[in-house]
Structure 1
Amino acid sequence: MFRRKNSSHNHHENDSLPSESKINDLKVAMGPLYERSLKYCDDACLRRYLEARNWNTEKAKKMLEESLKWRIDYKPEGIRWEEVAIEGETGKAYRANFHDRDGRSVLILRPAMQNSASLENNIRHLVYLIENAILNLPEGQEQMSWLIDFTGWSLSTSVPIKSAKDTVNILQNHYPERLAMAFLYNPPRIFEAFWKIVKYFLDAKTFQKVKFVYPKNKDSVELMQSFFDQDNLPTEFGGKAKLKYDHDEFSKQMVLDDLKALSLWGLDQKVEKISQHAVTKHSGAEVAPESIALPAS
């Protein structure tokens, strides 16, 4: 692990000058940006889009412009927990209370716990969690890891193909280079039929980041252990920790995180004071800032 990190560090040092030049080229190509678009397009962001398009400035520009348009229309940074909390009641997807070995945020997905037939609400809930995972990254870290638990999964509980396709498109096109690795833990054989369709939606880079892990496959288990401390990793993924999702406790944390997001994006200028009651006393989907007025995009 130590050698791997040093090698990466030296690689970035050697490439720093050409990459900085490419970032400056992309800044010029994008032209003037304002408000949240300007805040979104920092140097780290431009680097991610350039990396996603193999440092081709024109392709990165097109990709970034499409993302900015999507963000203006969809307003992912403006989604509040109260709007999506009902989707998370079963614990089908949430941010873990631990990081991986490199300090990345971890999203845990349990598709068998699906509780909604609404494609739009499912996507909105996931986008909220992606934004929240990014919000909780330590300084210097830009990626997240996904852990997908297939306990109880069947074709009857699987998400529709369209939902899977939309999820992949959003992750690839609007959150480039945000995914470090997605571990699919012990999927049943019947999942192979579903996977044969979904994998065609993945670009080459994303495809390489999806790893199947089987408890009896030594290589896949060792790869997963290289990313996670066994004491933090839940038993459902071969670790030692007990996986317990408490919706009320998670909701409390999301309310606090919403305050951080509001401040980060400058949305708190028109936000009325959130009462302490909203943070300390709530139930399920009713967790919310009492009155939030978001400025028009």
Structure 2
Amino acid sequence: MLNSWGEDIDINTTINTLNGVSKSSSSTSINTSTSTNSASTAKNGDTRSSKSSTKSLANSAKLVTKPVSSTSSFFGKFTGGGGGSSNSSNNSHNSSTGTNQASGSGSGSLTTTTTNSSEDTREGNDNLTIQKINASIGSIKGEDIKWDFWKLLRFSNPDKELLKFIRARKWDPNRSSIALTRTTKWKAYDHNVNQIIMDGEYYVFKNEMTGVMQNLTLRKAVILGHDLNDRPVIVVRPKLHSTAQQTHEELEKYVLLVVEELQLFFKEKTTTATLLFDLTGFSLSNMDYTAVKFIITVFEAHYPECLATMIIHNAPWLFTPIWKVVKAWLDPVVAAKVNFSYSLKDLNKFIPTEQLPKYLGGELDYDLDRYTPPDGTYDIHLNDKEKRTILLDQWRVLIAEFIKITKEWILSENQSENKKLWLQKYDLSQKLRAKYIEMDPYLRTRSSYDIDGLLVLE
């Protein structure tokens, strides 16, 4: 079959390879493609708290307990196991690590007997969770959504990315599982986000996507500079916006292209951004509630914990009633991140003067209105299919090893062994990041940020 990066890939061979390197014990099944929580980001940090959190999440998701028919079906799908939807009352458990059968069950059907009422409640919650997950995934094959998950990660740390969903869902493993599943489907199938970022700005102009072209040319949103915590800043200028400039579909493509380009600016220890809405010159004709609702959906539901701070600068008096409406749509956690500014001094509380463009009183010598569309000239590696295939194979091997070590880490009860395995996981996450960065020129067209030297993956 052909993957979304334009490469021929033998899925069965790849899945078999993963099966071979990631078998767990016959009595225990781990069905997740990554660990779900590595709270510490320092290599030599104390792993006890992250271990405890992961154990808690794993237990709730039936990852490290006797086989049951519940949330584990989701992880079986997610790691390339069973395909299609399943009946939650009689789930088959065919994960990438093989088929586990509880005593007395047949045909892979899993059953468990619980005597504790809290376990019964948890089992009921898990069954409800798997129903919701199956409803959102539908007939999508497990191996397909598994690779979609890894491709959408790009060079992000798997643990940190999942931790964003866990935090956003208040540490509830069932809600986190549902949210992650829906987001993977939303990105990969409903909006084809991977194709949007791989094709990039060049594809927009090559195919004359008029509305998206106009948004890019007007430079309504520009990723420029860093805040006081070295986080990338997006400068948005609503005065340049009009609902008549594009269709809703074109607006969505533009927003997703900008957000996906933003992800490329993230570094290992910097995984959030500052959003600066400059309302200078804003009028009611610029207001687009449909666009605002979509942006809220993007950041709250599908890119959780991506926004560190939102600054609304130079808001005119007419924005007051608008803000009351918009604030009511926001999650209270997100609303608490909003700050209003009216001067350079106010902006300097978040962004240093040298990182602000001159038109805002800063020192950054950058013309926000200048835009040269990429013409493909810099995409010198995209046609090197042989090199791309080699790099993709190496990347898949690292993924398989990461899954294997993650499972061993979750199963381990020895503190010394825990730390040893966690450090191996950390090392593998670094290798995965480095390998993806090496692959990037063979997968993605160069953006205007790459060409201008503003974007350097690291």
- Aligned positions of 1:177-196 closer than 5 A: 177-196=305-324
> Among 247, 254, 257, which residue is 1:118 paired with?
247
State the match for 1:17 in structure 2: 51
What amino acid is the match of 1:63? A
What amino acid is the match of 2:172? N
State the match for 1:244 in structure 2: 367
Deviations 1:70-98 (A, max 9, x none): 012211121121323432111111211x2
Q: Does 1:94 align with 2:209?
A: no
Shift of 1:125: 0.8
| CA separation of 1:46 and 1:242: change in aligned 2, threshold 3 A | same
| CA separation of 1:106 and 1:171: change in aligned 2, threshold 3 A | same
Deviations 1:40-79 (A, max 9, x none): 4621111000000111111111111110110122111211
21-30 vs 240-249, which deviates more?
Answer: 21-30
> Among 335, 359, 369, which residue is 1:207 paired with?
335
State the match for 2:148 in structure 1: 36
Provide the C-alpha distance between the structure 2 equivalents of 1:211 and 1:200, rounded to a whole number of angstroms.
16
| CA separation of 1:147 and 1:35: change in aligned 2, threshold 3 A | same
- TM-score of the aligned structures, taking structure 1 as reference length: 0.74
Give yes or no for contact 1:236–1:243 (8 Å, CA) kept in 2. Answer: no
What amino acid is the match of 2:50? S
Provide the C-alpha distance between the structure 2 equivalents of 1:274 and 1:169, rounded to a whole number of angstroms.
27
Provide the C-alpha distance between the structure 2 equivalents of 1:27 and 1:77, rounded to a whole number of angstroms.
31
SS at 2:186 equivalent? helix
Unaligned runs of 5+ in 1: 1-7, 281-297
What amino acid is the match of 1:59? R
State the match for 1:234 in structure 2: 357
SS at 1:128 equivalent? helix
> Among 84, 87, 103, which residue is 2:230 paired with?
103
State the match for 2:297 in structure 1: 169
Shift of 1:99: 1.9
> Among 41, 47, 60, which residue is 2:163 paired with?
47
Deviations 1:124-170 (A, max 9, x none): 111111111111212221111111111111001222x1221121112
SS at 1:248 equivalent? coil
Provide the C-alpha distance between the structure 2 equivalents of 1:274 and 1:228, rounded to a whole number of angstroms.
30
What amino acid is the match of 2:194? E
Provide the C-alpha distance between the structure 1 equivalents of 2:285 and 2:367, rounded to a whole number of angstroms.
24
What amino acid is the match of 1:75? N
Shift of 1:247: 4.1
Q: Does 1:127 align with 2:256?
A: yes
Q: CA RMSD in A?
A: 3.5
State the structure with more CA Rg: 2
Give yes or no for contact 2:151–2:194 (8 Å, CA) kept in 1. Answer: no
Give yes or no for contact 2:148–2:184 (8 Å, CA) kept in 1. Answer: no
Provide the C-alpha distance between the structure 1 equivalents of 2:374 and 2:57, rounded to a whole number of angstroms.
38
Give yes or no for contact 2:238–2:279 (8 Å, CA) kept in 1. Answer: yes
What amino acid is the match of 2:318? I
Shift of 1:230: 1.1
Unaligned runs of 5+ in 2: 1-40, 64-70, 79-145, 205-211, 383-387, 393-435, 452-458
Identity %: 24
Number of aligned residues: 256
Shift of 1:20: 3.3
Deviations 1:109-129 (A, max 9, x none): 000012524222122111111
Provide the C-alpha distance between the structure 1 equivalents of 2:368 and 2:309, rounded to a whole number of angstroms.
22
Provide the C-alpha distance between the structure 1 equivalents of 2:351 and 2:309, rounded to a whole number of angstroms.
11
Give yes or no for contact 2:218–2:369 (8 Å, CA) kept in 1. Answer: no
Give yes or no for contact 1:185–1:237 (8 Å, CA) kept in 2. Answer: no
Q: Does 1:78 align with 2:195?
A: yes
- TM-score of the aligned structures, taking structure 2 as reference length: 0.49
Provide the C-alpha distance between the structure 1 equivalents of 2:316 and 2:223, rounded to a whole number of angstroms.
24
Give yes or no for contact 1:94–1:109 (8 Å, CA) kept in 2. Answer: yes
